[in-house]
Chains A and B, each alone.
Chain A
Amino acid sequence: MDFSWIVSYRELLLHGALLTCLLLVISVTVGFWIAVLLAVAQVGRNPVLKYAAKSYCTFFRGTPLLIQLWLIYYGLGSYLPHIPGLRGSFLWPIMREGVFFAGVALTLNFAAYQGEILRGTLLAVPKGELEAAKAAGMPPFMVLRRIWLPRAIRIGLPTLAGEIILQLKATPIVFSVTVMDLYGAAYKIRQDTLLVYEPLILVAAFYVALTFLITQAFQRLENAVPTRR
């Protein structure tokens, strides 16, 4: 086992680790809010929104992330330059990068899985609480904002940790669209140094450590939320 390359590649590795964390944080936070919309649309009464949200979830949960990523990066990416005005705009330097497409694909994918979970937890909120809110004179949107959603999110908290870990484990795939995340860095190191296992072991250890941190953080969060058993 030879780990002497760590010193000369520390910048690449650090940068990669940061990028992995950044992709995780962005896709989880943005994806979560899209998921809330998807879940509310699915339990709502509007048939068009309901059907649209359902098909979205089915599509993104039924196809591999790799295909979605390539569809967005190669497929959509090849159309973007043809949109008039986009090339000259301030957004272009961001939208040219693989990271942008990777972030979009990861976000949309996370939203689909989380949206399905939140749909379930929205339905799991006791009917009596919603009726009580209604009886107290809250308009429907206020019921959703103050009672229904907070309760649904709380019920879904234990599964959220699992979903975030799954999301973390999905991130290395972005290296296939030229993003230098942690796995991308390891890939480059393997090509440069011809070491087969050592870079893989290092990144695997990083993912395991991050998984551990996430579970610990959520344990605390769950303990902080008061529950009656």
Chain B
Amino acid sequence: MNSSNSIFQLLYISPPGWGGVLLTGALATLFISAGAYLLGMILGLVGALGKLSGPRPIRFTLNVYTTVVRAVPELVMIVALFYAGTSGLNHVLSLAGMGPIEVNGLVAAIAVLGFVQGAYMTEVIRGAILSIPVGQVEAAKAFGMRPTMRFRRIVLPSLLPNALPGFANLWLSVIKDSALIAVVGYQELALAARVAASNTKQYMLFFLAAAAIYLAITITSNLLFSAIEMYFRRGQRPVN
């Protein structure tokens, strides 16, 4: 076989090409990232509201959560939670008189990354809420708006433009952090590339291909987020 031709045949979608494996891995990466991102956003919203207006013990717990998660390396956090999460769950189940269950790798990955994202999200949302002028919230109160309506009509629309750059950063970081899931053995894009590379001994080719896919995802996300931010900043006076 001619060398340069056959090397690129390795990227074909169907076997003997490994393109299909890579694309399946890329889908898994996107799915894990999106799931973890959504979970993190829910945790972050609850966390931020709790930190800003919760009672003291809740505020203290949330402070411990955000400090510890943000100070410990993601890899250590992911490995610890991966084992702690599954064995903890089985412990609870055995207390309830049920047998141990096998936790789905995908669910575990989403839960673990989402828990880490939640801590960063809490800080982003808290900062965005704090940057809303107090007068606006007071005015809403004076109009007799209930807390939920106040949040929906006043807080959320003015929070979003301030939070979006932070959200964009976190989305990019969750995509890159999802590669760490490869270390605990779930086959997303990074691990798929490694499997393909070690099977064919074409390390350069497959890691470059994986890097290109990651790059495509991050660049597209960048464009998308700046479009979204532009939409939510409509009507705002531009700086300078």
Contact = CB atoms under 8 A, between A and B. Distances in A.
Interface in B52-88: 68, 71-77, 79-80, 83-84, 87
Interface residues of A, number: 35
B197 A74 contact: yes
Q: Is the interface of B mostly helix, strand, loop or mixed?
A: helix
B76 A204 contact: yes
Nearest to A215: B71
A207 B72 CA distance: 6
A196 B83 contact: yes
A203 B215 contact: no
Given A67-B211, A200-B80, A211 B179 contact: no
B219 interface: yes
Contacts of A169: 72-74
Interface string B150-184: 00000000000000000000001001111110110
Interface stretch (A84-92, A142-150, A170-178, A220-228): A170-178
A102 to B, nearest CB: 13
Interface in A189-219: 196-197, 200, 203-204, 207-208, 211
Given A173-B75, A208-B71, A71 B176 contact: no
B190 interface: yes
Q: Is the interface of A mostly helix, strand, loop or mixed?
A: helix
Given A74-B197, A196-B87, A197-B80, A67 B72 contact: no
B155 to A, nearest CB: 27
- Of B72, B74, B197, most buried by chain A (CB within 10 Å of CB) is B72
Interface of A: 58-59, 61-68, 70-71, 74-79, 165, 168-173, 176, 183, 196-197, 200, 203-204, 207-208, 211
List 8 A-B pairs, minimum CB-CB distance, nearest first.
A64-B179, A74-B203, A75-B204, A62-B218, A71-B207, A169-B73, A64-B176, A66-B179
29 contacts: A59-B211, A59-B215, A62-B172, A62-B214, A62-B218, A63-B218, A64-B180, A66-B179, A66-B180, A66-B182, A67-B190, A67-B211, A67-B214, A68-B211, A70-B207, A71-B207, A75-B208, A78-B204, A169-B72, A172-B76, A173-B75, A173-B180, A196-B83, A197-B83, A200-B80, A204-B77, A204-B80, A207-B71, A208-B68
